[in-house]
Chain A
Amino acid sequence: MSNKEFEQQLQNALASLPNEIQPGRDLWPGIEHALNSQAAAPAVTSSKAKPYWGMAAAVATVGLLGWLGLTQLPGISDSAQLAQVLSQQHQQQKQALLASFSGQPALTDNWQQQVDELDAAALAIKQALKEDPNNPALLKMLQQVYQQQIDLIERVHAPAWQKI
């Protein structure tokens, strides 16, 4: 069959695509909840303070990386050890962030699975660092994974409109 026939059939298929598809669940309650939280946010001091956890975590993590990159620390000889320090700090930040959002409903159902996936990614990078301990790119990747995890936890608990 020719290319012309394919183009014709493709155009026909495009023209007959449904304009609408309905989701499998009712999305309005989640939206309404988010809009209500949005309306309430300015009056709630703790809600306003929560985004600063992420900012503090980001600044601290980047600062740590920069500091470690510029100094020769006694007892920290390669990237694997730097990763360990980074991991410890990240765990503390993550736990503090989760504690601050404790009891607050998340906007998505699968965020914990995504957090786990990022944990798995961090683990894989740390394994790679053991094989290639002097690879700064791996350390940077680890830092990015940790930052993604912090961003994710913030995003699902503190809706995105607060960042627009």
Chain B
Amino acid sequence: MRILLVEDDQTLSDSIAKALRSENFAVDVARNGEDGVHLGDTETYDAAVLDLGLPKVDGISVLTAWRKANRTMPVLILTARDGWSQKVEGFKAGADDYMTKPFRIEELVIRLRALVRRAAGHAAPQISCGTLNFDAQLGTFEKDGLPLKLTALEWRVLQCLIMRKDVTIERSNLVERVYEGDADVDSNSIEVIIARLRRKIGHDMIATERGRGYRLVSSP
């Protein structure tokens, strides 16, 4: 699960990024509107957190530019301007949720998870695949009713697979949704992560579609 955070305040963006990473999210940070437009337009994200008061290009224009370029990822507006008129303006520009500063990071995390889940077409927060269960609200996996311990990369890959269970996900897509923009991606790393996941949830749960990608199988 990869998030784009567009926030000009260094302290705040650092602590948001840190908090989101501790919840297993991959986070790219843009410090101004221009970078925000560019990143959102060229990279793949599961969701974006967008401040409205940005240098260079303001938040509403960033959002409008994304939507114009058919970038459909859910966008959560995070702003210190808490007026309802701004909220309406944000939603009209294509926002999906809105939070005002100061806020609780837990709430931001919950809302981001909900946005990503809804965007993938899941109405309920519980997503099951065979004996594997994902609580999309808490962000926790259970296998056979027992909590599953995963590293951040493993969590991201598995989350990505379970969101579109029984659908083959291209390897490149997986790479895009798992690694942060500035990460050094080893060409084998996804395979390594898949191998570790198979050991934890059962080899048959993840099918390899040669030359294409991977698929989480609900009835192996």
Question: Do A and B share a complex?
Answer: no
